[in-house]
Amino acid sequence: MIEKQFNTKVFDIYGTTEGFVIAGQCEHGRYHVLTPHVFLELLDEQGNEVAPGELGHVVVTRLDAYAMPLIRYYLGDLAIKAHTDKQCACGRKYPMLEMIIGRDTDIVRTRSGKMLIVHFFTGIFEHIPEIQQFRVVQKDLDSILIEYIPAHSFFNKGILKKTERIIHEKLQENLTIYFQQVDRIEPTPSGKPQIIQSFLEKPNLSK
Ligand SMILES: [Zn+2]
C-alpha cells in the first residue's frame, strides 16, 4: 500500500534496537550483510557456526562502535545463512542472508532437535480457511497446543483432525497436538500477531 500511495519502492532493513543496521535489502530484494560495520555469526545451539542454508542464532559484533562496543552480542533472533557461491544480480559483494526468521522464542522444538519456524505453520494454515487465526503454544518437547479462532459458525471439528494429520505428515515425528478454541488471541506487547509462543528454556550458547 505504501508503494502504491507514494509511487515508490519500499526496502526492508534488518537492525537492532541498539541502533545499527545489520543487513539491508538491495533492489533485487536480497538481504546483504553490512560487513564493513558488523561481524555477523549464525550459531547452532552448541555455539558453532551453522552451514549455509541452515537456521542459526544471530550473534553480532559491531565493528565501528568505539564508545560502546558490542562484542558477540546474542540478539535472540534466528536467520538462515545464504550459500556463499550465490551471487546477487546487483553486483554487491557483501554476503547475504537467505532469510531472517525473527525471535528464537518463535519456534517449536521437537524431541529429535527439529526447529519449526512460523512459516512451517503458516504454510499449513493458509490452506485451512476454516481457521481464522491460530497460535501455537509449547510447554514441553513432546506436545503443542494450538489455540484457534474458527472462521465461521459452520466450523466442523473434523478440520482439526485434518490439520493434525497434515502437521504429522510434514513433521514425520511424534508430537502430541492439542486444540483449544478461543475467542481472542492477544498480540505481543509490540502489537505484532503472535503465532508461536514457546515456554521452553532458551538455548545456552556459552562457548
Ligand atoms: Zn543484491
Taking alpha carbons only, the member of 32, 36, 15, 119 closest to residue 84 is: 32
What separation in Å is there between the alpha carbon of 81 and the centre of ligand 1?
Answer: 15
What separation in Å is there between the alpha carbon of 6 and the centre of ligand 1?
Answer: 23
Residue ranges covered by each domain of the chain = 2-103, 108-198
* Range in 5-14, 32-41, 82-91, 148-157 with the lowest mean pLDDT: 148-157
Superfamily of structural domain 2-103 = Luciferase; Domain 3 (2.30.38.10)
Residue with cell 546474542: 74
Please compute the mean of the pLDDT values over residues 11-26 and round it to a whole number. 92
User: What pLDDT was estimated at residue 98?
Assistant: 92
86 has pLDDT over 60:
yes
91 has pLDDT over 80:
yes
User: What pLDDT was estimated at residue 125?
Assistant: 94
Please compute the mean of the pLDDT values over residues 45-63 and round it to a whole number. 92
Residue with cell 526447529: 115
Task: Give me the residues near ligand 1 (ion), CB cutoff below 5 Å.
Answer: 26, 28, 30, 88, 90, 92
203 has pLDDT over 70:
no
131 has pLDDT over 80:
yes
Cα 26 to Cα 4, 12, 16, 95, 103: the distances in Å are 19, 9, 19, 12, 23
One fold for 2-103 and 108-198: no
Is this prediction's pTM over 0.85? no
What separation in Å is there between the alpha carbon of 27 and the centre of ligand 1?
Answer: 6
User: What pLDDT was estimated at residue 115?
Assistant: 87
User: What pLDDT was estimated at residue 153?
Assistant: 63
**Cα–chain center distance at 179:** 22
CA angle (166, 168, 172) in 5-degree steps: 130
pLDDT band for 168, please (50, 70, 90 cuts).
very high
Q: Tell me what the pLDDT averaged over the chain comes to.
A: 90
User: What pLDDT was estimated at residue 92?
Assistant: 93
User: What pLDDT was estimated at residue 187?
Assistant: 85
Give the class (CATH, top level) of 108-198: alpha beta
Residue 14 burial (CB count, 10 A): 18
Q: Answer whether 46's CB lies under 8 Å from 27's CB.
A: no
* % of the chain exceeding 70 in pLDDT: 97
Distance between CA atoms of residues 207 and 205, nearest Å: 6
CA angle (116, 120, 124) in 5-degree steps: 145
